[in-house]
Structure 1
Amino acid sequence: MAAPFQLSFSSSFLPSPLPTTAKSAAAPPLRRFHVLCSAASSTSDLPKKKHWKAGEYPAQIQTSTTQLPKRRTPIKNIKKKLDNKNNAKAWVNTVTESLSDAIDKKQWLRALQVFEMLKAQPFYRPKEGTYMKLIVLLGRCGQPGQACQLFDEMLQEGLEPTAQLYTALLGACCRSNLIDKAFFFLEQMKALPHCQPDVYTYSILIKACVDATRFDLLESLYDEMSERWITPNTVTQNIVLSGYGKAGRYEDMEKVLTRMLESETSIPDVWTMNTIISLFGNDGQIEMMERWYEKFRDFGIEPETRTFNILIGAYGKKRMYDKMSSVMEHMRRLSFPWTTSTYNNVIEAFSDVGDAKHMEYTFDQMRTEGIRADTKTFCCLIRGYANAGLFHKVISSVQLAGRLEIPENTSFFNAVLHACSKAQDLMEMERVFKRMKDKLCRPDSTTYSIMMDAYRKEGMSDKVYDLEQEMQGMIAKTESEDDVGDIEDTSPDVNQVLSV
């Protein structure tokens, strides 16, 4: 057994530098990132650019002005398959593929619309897998009400619920912080012989409690798991470990680590390592992050791509570009690929300080290497250009996101609202806010904070008051959705499930 693992914050271990590599002529793209070593360039002397015109966001996409990289001609057999697929006239293939495409692109509203079209066809038969994918999608897109309604429709179609379907529904509630509703579904599961909760069900609930700092519920969940002979696994313990760390409860975090070392089912792994170093990295405690990185290595835990991405993100936030570049070189030397998260961390580092030059250079290299950008990529780009005062490039970034079909979530709209506020364009900010609501994307506290700050700077106290009232209404609506009494009107009760 490994030596006792002590979580001591007065450790005698000296922070060990991360491994670096010598210059190599074999990897020229790698050395290009040595621009990261220089301090973020000042953008104060950049020429002022014309702001967007009224109503220009969302601008109409002109596909002819910016050409995307051409795809290579497919080989003969693949091209033949694609031609056959494109020539197919069957309505069945079209609807099912459209549904799959909408789910893959996380377009929940379009997915529901296509699903309604599918149900209207004579060949339609309800399938558990289809409902599972849709419920998971709705949960990820912050639509727990739609997930509950879909679950109810599934029961009406004669499908029997399963533990997996209930866990997906429970997870959809947890993602929107509807903990009471999640516990309500847990009680339903326990009342059904074939839908008993498992370790994954409890892990999702535990994560929701941790995220909401409801640590008082953790012990009761652990006790309930013990009564049901369900042993917490490493994933469950890592969730609790992360929650205690974020809350600054280091003594409780040490107890969890000790239990993990004494257990045979929840021993520390690379995720444990990632959890600990990310806690210190996000808190800006670089020396402690490096120290624990070396400690976990001494325990025989090898890093992975995510581990290095955590280190890169932490160094980037502290503007330690030398070490950020060193980790990226180390990844190349060990044949770890640079991923979307890797590039996002570098782009975010330059975005925060408005270094448009290096941010743009990194994004160009990302696309050159064929790494797919995601919503966070464009959030960072939009904020970075706004911080640099390059508002015309905010528009081009939004247009490019549209061409690449990047999902527009709350964070995306918040980034555009931030740009409007920076440009002092309140009319455009209101248009973006309206579009956000039209897209059924729920505003959060950051959304209202950005807008209220913009109105305060202009002395528009009446607008600030209206937003405060609207925000309170949103909070009240969320609380009403979390009320168990309302749940019984819109979701299946135990008797209804048993009768199916």
Structure 2
Amino acid sequence: MTCTLLPFTSSSLHFPTRKITQNWIPTHACPSSRIRMCGVSTGPKKISGPKRTRKKSSLSSSSEAEDLVRLLMRNFTDKHPLVNTLNKYVKFVRTEHCFLLFEELGKSDEWLQCLEVFRWMQKQKWYIADNGVYSKLISVMGKKGQTRMAMWLFSEMRNSGCRPDTSVYNALITAHLHSRDKSKALAKALGYFEKMKGMERCKPNIVTYNILLRAFAQARNVDQVNALFKDLDESIVTPDIFTFNGVMDAYGKIGMIRDMELVLSRMKSKQIKPDIITFNLLIDAYGRKQEFDKMEQVFKSLLRSKEKPTLPTFNSMITNYGKARLREKADLVFQKMIEMGYKPSFITYESLIMMYGYCDCVSRAREIFDQLAESEKEKKVSTLNAMLDVYCMNSLPMEADMLFESARRTRMFPVDSSTYKLLYKAYAKADMKELIQKLLVYMDKDGIIPNKRFFLDALGALGSSSASEKSTSRKDSDTKKLPLQSHS
């Protein structure tokens, strides 16, 4: 496929250009050098100028609030209920602290504790029923798939005398969209959307449109996306860069490249210029579909624009070149990143580990892993999982087992349920019953309690493996039965 199908070229972006002295991908391969361990940075090195002197002021109210919330979370255990800790610090805790607590508890899957905090709030003299509190709680419940609880909070809000507004309905729509029955959720969301149009305080805003557009794009419902865009054009609401980025990202991730390009054209017609998020999602989408000519063209356009690449730009390219087994190009992207003054993050190194795994360069992947292990950087479970995944995808379960044993024994890298799930699926697929039994013993010792999904995924992997083996065996048997044919 040629690059001419891309809805924009480097010249049509109309960005002020700067001279690029070197092609981003040389025509010849550079010698592979040992990867240097660097600190984390999100951008190129800046030339240091005169340092600005700043007054050493006391901690801002936001940082003080965060410190108090961290203190509350540290003192919260099964033996010491969160309400007891809140009572201990009752003189200091206010609404802003509870908001932060809702976020932290939501992240740690302690959504029930959010309700405990809410009930505690309602008993305080300073508490005033507020849409913002309900909106935040509805959002947290939605993310955890607790749609019924979100609906209960919505009723509770109205019973407390609060009148719903747009933000509350946006939270409620988002909560429904997190439910498992997507078709039912989308119908509910559209119902709320139409209801909002008839209420003065709850008119849909750009956030409402952005939520719905992305959801229907993810559901591959192109007609509804177009209908929402038409509705948006006829309303007083103005689309923003988030509108188009959200829809393009959704289409790109499910491989609907043509529809993604049409949305990009629509964005250009609105005179909205691409930002770094736009460039990154286009690079990732084209990379996933292995349309590398287009991916490279977008990268060149990015270099000529006012925007600057970020680490996710390079990480995506390295990963997608790796999946296509284009090791040389992936290596050159990494070299280009270093030349431009960027310092790899742990995600960059994990991308390199996976890339070498896809390219059957297991020893090179292990070399990078060992460098990370020997460095003073914080050790991530995702890094260990990446190396284990490389061993498993290259049919080396015993090597994966030895690395896992070592990591668990030395505690150099953390191990959690994601590690066990990865290995369980790999061992099941390879029909390594002894390794599975050993893994289950370790899971029991480490207090890892697998849920239903854990075993369903593993059984699915085992089932597909068995089906593949039967299919291969059947083909071999059928081949033996075929009469010999002459080749003219």
Q: Fold conserved (TM > 0.5)?
A: yes
Q: 2:463 aligns with which of 424, 430, 452?
A: 452
Q: Deviations over 1:415-458 (max 9, x none)?
A: 244134135336689998xx999777757995663253366589
Q: 1:293 to 1:188 in 2, by over 3 A?
A: same
Does the CA contact (< 8 Å) of 1:359 and 1:381 recur in 2? yes
- 1:43-442 maps to which residues of 2 (within 5 A)? 91-92=86-87, 100=100, 103-104=103-104, 106-107=106-107, 109-113=109-113, 115-116=115-116, 119-120=119-120, 122-123=123-124, 125=127, 128-176=131-179, 177=182, 178-244=185-251, 252-264=259-271, 266-298=272-304, 300-352=306-358, 357-363=363-369, 365-366=371-372, 368=375, 370=377, 373=380, 377=383, 379-387=385-393, 388-389=396-397, 390-394=400-404, 415-421=422-428, 422=430, 424-425=432-433
1:223, distance to aligned residue in structure 2 (A)? 2.0
Q: 1:397 to 1:175 in 2, by over 3 A?
A: farther
Aligned residue type for 1:223: K
Aligned residue type for 1:452: G
Q: Following the alignment from structure 1 to structure 2, what is the Cα–Cα distance between the partners of residues 99 and 301?
A: 34
Does the CA contact (< 8 Å) of 1:21 and 1:330 recur in 2? no
Q: Following the alignment from structure 1 to structure 2, what is the Cα–Cα distance between the partners of residues 85 and 380?
A: 33
Q: 1:418 to 1:351 in 2, by over 3 A?
A: farther
SS of corresponding position for 2:201 = coil
Q: 1:423 to 1:315 in 2, by over 3 A?
A: same
SS of corresponding position for 2:37 = helix
Q: Following the alignment from structure 2 to structure 1, what is the Cα–Cα distance between the partners of residues 413 and 328?
A: 35
1:287, distance to aligned residue in structure 2 (A)? 3.2
Does the CA contact (< 8 Å) of 1:210 and 1:243 recur in 2? yes
Q: Deviations over 1:368-426 (max 9, x none)?
A: 4645736x5565344334443122544666899999696x6xx7775244134135336
Q: Deviations over 1:324-351 (max 9, x none)?
A: 3433343344343433432332233245
Q: 1:17 to 1:151 in 2, by over 3 A?
A: same
Q: 1:338 to 1:149 in 2, by over 3 A?
A: farther
1:139, distance to aligned residue in structure 2 (A)? 3.9
Which protein is bigger by CA-based radius of gyration? 2
Q: Following the alignment from structure 1 to structure 2, what is the Cα–Cα distance between the partners of residues 106 and 401?
A: 28
List alignment gaps of at least 5 residues for structure 2: 12-21, 39-57, 76-83, 471-488
Does the CA contact (< 8 Å) of 2:29 and 2:332 recur in 1? yes
Q: 1:269 to 1:90 in 2, by over 3 A?
A: closer
Aligned residue type for 1:288: K
1:213, distance to aligned residue in structure 2 (A)? 0.6
Does the CA contact (< 8 Å) of 1:381 and 1:397 recur in 2? no
1:206, distance to aligned residue in structure 2 (A)? 0.9
Does the CA contact (< 8 Å) of 2:105 and 2:114 recur in 1? no
Determine what percentage of the aligned residue pairs are the same residue. Answer: 23
1:292, distance to aligned residue in structure 2 (A)? 2.8
Q: 1:404 to 1:161 in 2, by over 3 A?
A: farther
SS of corresponding position for 1:166 = helix
Q: Following the alignment from structure 1 to structure 2, what is the Cα–Cα distance between the partners of residues 157 and 444?
A: 44
Q: Following the alignment from structure 1 to structure 2, what is the Cα–Cα distance between the partners of residues 93 and 382?
A: 45
Does the CA contact (< 8 Å) of 1:108 and 1:138 recur in 2? no
Q: Following the alignment from structure 1 to structure 2, what is the Cα–Cα distance between the partners of residues 166 and 401?
A: 46
Q: 1:286 to 1:196 in 2, by over 3 A?
A: same
Q: Following the alignment from structure 2 to structure 1, what is the Cα–Cα distance between the partners of residues 422 and 144?
A: 18
SS of corresponding position for 1:303 = coil
1:320, distance to aligned residue in structure 2 (A)? 3.4
1:217, distance to aligned residue in structure 2 (A)? 0.5
TM-score by length of 2: 0.63
TM-score by length of 1: 0.62
Higher relative contact order (CA 8 A, sep 6+): 1
Q: Deviations over 1:208-261 (max 9, x none)?
A: 111111111112111221232222222222333345556666555444333333
Does the CA contact (< 8 Å) of 1:424 and 1:454 recur in 2? no
List alignment gaps of at least 5 residues for structure 1: 31-76, 460-500
1:202, distance to aligned residue in structure 2 (A)? 1.0
Q: Following the alignment from structure 1 to structure 2, what is the Cα–Cα distance between the partners of residues 404 and 159?
A: 46
Does the CA contact (< 8 Å) of 2:114 and 2:137 recur in 1? no
1:203, distance to aligned residue in structure 2 (A)? 1.2
1:303, distance to aligned residue in structure 2 (A)? 2.1
Aligned residue type for 1:115: L
Q: Following the alignment from structure 2 to structure 1, what is the Cα–Cα distance between the partners of residues 138 and 409?
A: 30
Q: Following the alignment from structure 2 to structure 1, what is the Cα–Cα distance between the partners of residues 148 and 407?
A: 32
1:197, distance to aligned residue in structure 2 (A)? 1.5
Q: 1:251 to 1:111 in 2, by over 3 A?
A: closer
Q: Following the alignment from structure 1 to structure 2, what is the Cα–Cα distance between the partners of residues 200 and 229?
A: 13
Q: 1:297 to 1:135 in 2, by over 3 A?
A: same
Aligned residue type for 1:342: T
Q: Following the alignment from structure 1 to structure 2, what is the Cα–Cα distance between the partners of residues 155 and 258?
A: 43
Q: How many residues align structurally? A: 399
